[in-house]
Structure 1
């Protein structure tokens, strides 16, 4: 299989690195595209168009395979615009977003939100319940604490963490389907959809491709990915997962068709204090980084569900695989450090992935 068909699933990749460098060279805010000659598929000649943009704090790439490149371009641009719309609704960094409004007002009165934001919050509540609170979108006060403290070159104190934890509780988030409104239990609480909204954005972009008549393509947003149909050659997509301890190498590949995959890990995003790295995924019960597992990948029909469950699995740490196997309709991969072997890892997979996963790093061990 050609190298270009091995789509990298993580928060950083060589193709995205080239993309970021191209944007840094003077094309900020513009589309970056590359054309690839198509190959025969059925009776028509398939062509490939890939466009990218910096969105939601990461580099997004959308690939569309279609005999007509004008249709492919329109579909991708529609998909990218849908992702922009999601960011405008759900970003905590925009004062005019619906989540920004919720964080300002929902502790004093119910706040009505649009259908999309309400749908993501409802899914987040569902995953919070099935994961025992491992995914908790009310973690905003804790995230803010860690950002402020580490920007000042220090770690949060135990007293500060304890105070922030008093404002973190998924049970304190109420969603009313009758009025499509949201309310928070007490002042100081806030919502951060960083563990699930990007997956939703990937879903709406993938759905935009299909609505525009593109039935072969993918959306890749820094760790969240969804494939549409089969690849341009008519084969099953092959997704690559980077080695969490050696990002220049691929750890494994997994076959996927008309489904989504999301990887959560602490190896590319972290807080740094005194030269030490602390993972950005915070445990909603302890208030400290969840560092037991190196990465967790979920494969599901929905990128939103895969995103939320991957975050929850990382919070479960040593119990990540047991948690994944309790969830119906999904498959998972958990990568852990290999005891007494620095630099090496063990890989756990759910039974449904047997025959779909290929280890590419000979030093890794696949647990049976």
Structure 2
């Protein structure tokens, strides 16, 4: 999933504060992370950022499907064979993933990783995949076929060839955990930007809320809204940087795991939620559910808001969103 990168605005108005924001940019989990902490000096900030990096690296080792020694890989390699005992942290993450899969009626599905990639968005695809290949691509997908045993703390994928993956929630979860750790260590304010999955806490040194500028999907060089974030997460998913055009029809890279076909009708979704893990999953799901169903589902969730931009450029917001034009 291509994530829109946010522009962070730090307003200091020329005033020197005892506490200052310190930022480090690096590559983690195969993505660009920006970790910002508010601290008294660079030495203190570096110590805190190192803690966050170590936590994100720990989580990557736990959930990676590329690492053959990870518990996630062990679950996948035993699909259709036997249950696998896992750490409580991974068990709970999978349980929440199944919960979101149910909430979205499978628009998000934690077992999407078994999807054969019949759609290619690297410029090599010149014709439509066959109907049979698309149908076959989703045969192993179905969160209903994940069996959890809470007492034994085991995970079993019932179908041979079935796989779980955390591509849609992994970065968000890592950002949540890094934030949680830094708060426990006494860091009063900061931002974890996991390739567009934004997680904030506290306020800027001048007492103002952190703010994000949301990119205009019709013109990536402009922003259409500037919004404050208070101790929460915001994730934007866009389909306008990764797509294929066949016979003058544009197909975006966000695939409906239930049908195997690309989602249509929406070009950008921004979700505000208490946790980046949840915001991450919902942003993808709304593309698949469509704007009416997606908006209705969001408005049933406490402390969750969204901004949807459809393929005609219309802006649809949930009831508690007020857009400050930039």
What TM-score results when the alignment is normalised by the length of structure 2?
0.89
**Residue among 107, 113, 138 paired with 1:165:** 138
- The structural deviation recorded for 1:13 is 5.8
Following superposition, the deviation at residue 227 of structure 1 comes to 0.6
Match of 1:95 in 2: 68
Partner of 1:195: 168
Counterpart Cα distance in 2 of 1:275 and 1:98 = 44
For 1:122 and 1:301, locate their aligned partners in 2 and report how far apart those are by CA, in whole Å: 18
Q: Which residue of 1 aligns with 2:4?
A: 11
Is 1:217 matched up with 2:183?
no
Contact 2:121 2:243 in 1 (8 A): no
Q: Cα 1:161–1:352, aligned 2, differ >3 Å: closer, same or farther?
A: same
Alpha-carbon distance in structure 2 between the residues aligned to 1:69 and 1:276 = 51
Rate the CA distance shift 1:269–1:150 in 2: closer, same or farther, 3 A: closer
Aligned mate of 1:132, from 105, 109, 133: 105
Tell me, in whole angstroms, the C-alpha distance in 2 between the residues paired with 1:229 and 1:154.
Answer: 50
Mapped contact 1:106–1:182 kept (Cα < 8 A): no
Q: Once the 2 structures are TM-superposed, how far is the Cα of residue 97 of structure 1 from its aligned partner?
A: 2.3
Do the aligned residues in 2 keep the contact of 1:11 with 1:268 (CA within 8 Å)? no
Structure 2 residue 298 is matched with structure 1 residue 331: no
Cα shift readout 1:241-280 (whole Å, capped 9, x = no counterpart): 1011211111212111111111222223446889986422
Aligned partner of 2:234 in structure 1 is 261
- Residue segments in structure 2 that go unaligned for 5+ positions in a row: none
Match of 1:178 among 120, 126, 151: 151
Provide the rounded CA distance (Å) in 2 between the counterparts of 1:113 and 1:228: 31
1:245 equivalent in alignment to 2:214: no
Q: Are residue 359 (structure 1) and residue 320 (structure 2) matched?
A: no
Does the alignment pair 1:316 with 2:309? no
Work out the CA distance in 2 between the residues paired with 1:99 and 1:180.
14
Q: Hey, what's the Cα distance between the residues in 1 that align with 2:161 and 2:7? A: 40
Deviations 1:49-107 (A, max 9, x none): 10121122321000011113322111111111211222222122322222222111132
Summarize the Cα distance change of 1:216–1:102 in structure 2 as closer, same or farther, 3 Å threshold. same
| Partner Cα distance (2:124, 2:149) in 1 | 37
The size of the alignment, in residue pairs, is 321
Question: How far apart in 1 are the matches of 2:304 and 2:171?
Answer: 18
The answer to whether the 8 A contact 1:300-1:306 is kept is: yes
Work out which structure has the larger RCO, using CA pairs closer than 8 Å and 6 or more positions apart in sequence: 2
Q: 1:152 to 1:131 in 2, by over 3 A?
A: closer
Contact 1:252–1:359 (CA under 8 A) maintained in structure 2? yes
Q: Is the 8 A contact 1:231 1:237 kept in 2?
A: yes
* Structure 1 counterpart SS, 2:119: helix
The 5-angstrom pairing of residues 105-116 of structure 1 reads 105-116=78-89
Look up the SS of the partner of 1:182 in the other structure: strand
Q: Which piece of structure 1 moves more, 59-68 or 111-120?
A: 111-120
Alignment RMSD (CA, Å)? 2.7
